[in-house]
Structure 1
């Protein structure tokens, strides 16, 4: 690195943190998840407003790969946290209703995404048509689990039964989404070596096999011990080596990081995992804003004309209508009231950083061009920002009808105390 590159890298990093923190705090003051402001910061620094003038001067071509490397580290740690926060106890006593809502929340938007994909293919052709159709359905079906957890905590819903149910449904949707994305990645980016994907199963078995050893190392000081610097270093090594493993299998590094977090020891490690969330959250709070800017630099809405606005309207209609309607119908089919189902549907509609990660993979695979990527980022921003107003609208409607703002669901599934305030705290960087 030259001295000039070092100067620009430090300047860019400081500017990114300052702008992301400022807009994130502003978003929080108006009742939005901070991730909305942070994503907006990336878009503002990109070419949309000032063309390439500001972006090219502040983020020249020889510095962007360095920022991209920092962003990749942040995303890898973020995906570890997503996997770490998945809890089997979310499903306890509510398997039927969780599966019903998750099926509606996934299949309906995915099914609507298929005709949307053919509509978009008219002006965004690709040689991988089948993969594009699947990817489009996937991109409108995702829910941002970490952002959702933070919204629940900020609204005091994390320890209510509706909060536990929302987290359970989002966890199922997340697992399905990442599995489907892994399949798309294998087909498009595997260079024909599809047999390598099969190595994911023995790799997962290896991670399961080393869990006792990992737990013994992390709890070396005995039960209730804190996470030592050595323990944190071991966790970070595991994240990066798992990412290397899945990259070598022809898949994205995010899958390895996610799998490592999902297969971390669970029994008797609640306090230890909470500390992991806190410590890794500090890392992601510094590095994820870099990812937002790297993503924002690729967003260019200057050339969006009438055709682009029509495509954006179609994307928003499918993403919002499919997700909200599918979740609502799935929840109602399992006996939830209209208020409960509406609250759950509003929560499932948030997409946040999870959507950006998926879109980044699609851009890397060549499934999305620059214009379509930009439109999809706008969709992620809009659907995340509308979650709070939707919840307020449902609360006001319930209040007018003389009902509680967030009704109790204990009659549907047990464990109203199964909220996860810790999940929200661990996701502060994402929401």
Structure 2
């Protein structure tokens, strides 16, 4: 790198950090998740405004590969944390309710997204029609698990029954959506597609070798202390352990990229197989050490790289019509699916609507899926930009919907717990939720 390139790179990073932080704080003041402001910062720094003058000034062509490398590293660490925080044991406490709501909230938008894809394929599909249809269905079905967890914590719903069900549904939604996206990557793959035949061996290696090895790493003899009923736990994450985790993460990402999929699958799976039966203190240390670097530096670079692909300056009437169809499909699919799944399990109507509003959150997870689709060549940049707007709007509408529903019953927290008729003993009389005082 020349000295001029180094200076441009540092100036670009400073602009990314400051603008992302300011808009993230502004979003929080407006009752929105910070990711909405950070996503908007990436779009504003792109070619949408001033005919791309700001993008050309701040991000010259010769430093964009460096930003892209930082963005990919941020994506790897983010997907690792998504996989690590994805705990399917939440389903045990919610029974068939979470499973049925999750399946409905995936299958309905998947079907509607597929129908929409057939309508848009002639104009926007850059590869095979089958991959395009599957991809758009997956993009409509996803729920942003990390953003949803933050919304639940900020609204006070995190410790309520609805909050637990929403998190369990989002966890299962993400597993199904990422599995479908892996199929898309296989269908859209090029010359290395035959390597996907080795995927079962890779999965077996991760489950039978890597997972036990990581468990031994955090529980090996002579490195733990007695902690009462918790048994032997570690006091802290050592530098050696962190190096092993990071190296394994990068190698897992490399393996899935070599197999012909995308590196995000390797990062997600490595986080998923990392043992969770360690002390809570150790888990927090592991995530905190990676989260600060990822969220403060690497993910803002990802937002900018994603925003540089969005050009809304030439959006016409036809594009606005397509955006309306995309929003209608995304919102209707998630709401109808989640609401129907909840009502089939006799959840009261208002709580069913609350659950549907929560599962409509897409956030950063949607942007990751869209970026993967763009890199796989499944969709063009025009449709990519419209789908980014959809991700922004569906995430931004969650807070107002929660407040709107909360006004009917004394605040969102008051809606979080409900009596489930299926859990009552036989012969017990049930009353409509609206007839109960308080």
Give me the TM-score of the superposition, normalised by structure 2: 0.90
Deviation at 1:131, TM superposition (A): 0.8
Q: What aligned pairs does 1:244-259 form with structure 2 within 5 A after superposition?
A: 244-259=254-269
More displaced stretch, 391-400 vs 286-295: 391-400
Displaced runs of 4+ in structure 1, greater than 4 A? 409-414
Deviation at 1:395, TM superposition (A): 0.9
Of 335, 348, 351, the residue aligned with 2:346 is 335
Of 231, 237, 261, the residue aligned with 2:247 is 237
Deviation at 1:398, TM superposition (A): 2.5
Higher relative contact order (CA 8 A, sep 6+): 1
1:201 is aligned to 200
Change (3 A) 1:4 1:114: same
| 5+ long unaligned stretches in structure 2 | 225-232, 425-438
Q: Please tell me the root mean square deviation across aligned C-alpha atoms, in Å.
A: 1.9
The whole-number CA distance in structure 1 between the counterparts of 2:89 and 2:241 is 25
Deviation at 1:51, TM superposition (A): 1.4
The whole-number CA distance in structure 1 between the counterparts of 2:244 and 2:159 is 32
The whole-number CA distance in structure 2 between the counterparts of 1:125 and 1:274 is 42
3-state DSSP of counterpart to 2:409: helix
| 5+ long unaligned stretches in structure 1 | 415-431
Cα deviations across residues 169-209 of structure 1 (Å, max 9, x unaligned)? 00100001111101111111242633x22322222222222
Q: Is the 8 A contact 1:395 1:406 kept in 2?
A: no
Q: What aligned pairs does 1:176-191 form with structure 2 within 5 A after superposition?
A: 176-191=176-191
2:417 is aligned to 407
Cα deviations across residues 359-417 of structure 1 (Å, max 9, x unaligned)? 111111222111111100000000000010111111112339x9933233677689xxx
Larger Rg: 2
1:41 is aligned to 41
Give me the TM-score of the superposition, normalised by structure 1: 0.92
The whole-number CA distance in structure 2 between the counterparts of 1:413 and 1:253 is 43
1:64 is aligned to 64
Q: What aligned pairs does 1:294-333 form with structure 2 within 5 A after superposition?
A: 294-333=305-344
1:425 is aligned to none
Matched length: 412
Does the alignment pair 1:92 with 2:106?
no
1:272 is aligned to 282
Change (3 A) 1:25 1:411: farther
Change (3 A) 1:170 1:409: farther
Q: Is the 8 A contact 1:190 1:251 kept in 2?
A: no
Change (3 A) 1:403 1:293: closer
